[in-house]
Structure 1
């Protein structure tokens, strides 16, 4: 008698196929790993894998979708999250994403070539996990406004999309980071978020997005991909914004 696969079994098979593909592709490479090999190693029928993933490329993209979903779930379970400020929440999200990818870093480096082969792909709405990331960032901005941490921002949707794009740009930098415990990436993210929050508090981001959201978005993505000299630039920008937001008006003569 034909037995229908339950949703729980489907979810388990979905994860099993991704895990198996990660292990095989890490060992043999993307081109030398076949769909049949993945299915058989996972203990599933040759045709079954195609019910979940029509191509190897789709399987690779599903890995990132799953990793980002798991990172957001982990973030949501963080104790005391409700008391976190905007910068702390954004930092936590990025930390959770990189923690999810860390064990599979060799595979991520291999798979990332498929995801980010073209620079413009970093700005695509089709990026795996981007919709979930954009929603998470939009909720963070809403919470910061509701708490009075930030003044009302008229471009939360555009900014949330920019932040979602920047996650993939940070991953690209992280994959090339050879510093101890990825200290350079940590510093880059910390500086970048510090500048962003100061700019939001000053109203600068709102004005820049109004003037040219796409240009700002593409330039930030390019800078985060490169990373060379960006930390110093972030330090200068943070200091300048801090001075601008804390400076007292000069006394009139």
Structure 2
């Protein structure tokens, strides 16, 4: 049987990089995409060290550019004759509260984290129908539980989860499986890439400064090396979903993530979540 092909977005670092190497190790021809292919060195080095360079192909893809999405998908199908899976992984964080953050930050978070996912999924679906393939989307526990000072990010991830939960039964009717993968804290470049100037944020936070200070202290601890998963650990469920005959719709990447998400899914009146996250800002 021909080698199956998977397209993964956001592979220059973090979960995307780890997923690209892991899928190649599992025997998939992996099209590893990123907005700036000049940042491919870390991925190519990791693929070489894993002995899977021949199965990893780097392509440019900007999920916020419809023409870029269409071009990349068309090239993959033309070159490989098939597309068996898409992993929507590209994303961007956004820390702040709406009164001070403004609408541009909200729209930017939605473009990358939501509309980019929708655009690629739409472009890929005809080819996934042909292959009986699957759509896997890396969301976050922040796509289930709203978190302080992550209003824009969580709103986008909530939107992704609602979109995929609605799409799943429709896609299944034409032979395409849909899964969301929900990581918790991951020790990767994702947090560092936010390039937050914490002192400046606190100085400009006005009445929100005490809550922001408490949130930053709590979050910093959750992302330290002892308290977070590695990118490889968070990426492992993606490979499991690709291999599963009938994958679950919702998959968490750790016991902590499962417990955290379960709080929301059993929280009919919202009091459990508010009690939990309220403690993060006090």
Instruction: Please confirm whether the aligned pair reaches a TM-score higher than 0.5, indicating the same fold.
Output: no
Q: Relative contact order: is structure 1 or structure 2 higher (C-alpha 8 Å, sep ≥ 6)?
A: 2
Structure with the higher fraction of residues in helix conformation? 1
Q: Judging by fraction of residues, say which structure has more strand.
A: 2
Structure exhibiting the larger radius of gyration computed from Cα positions: 1
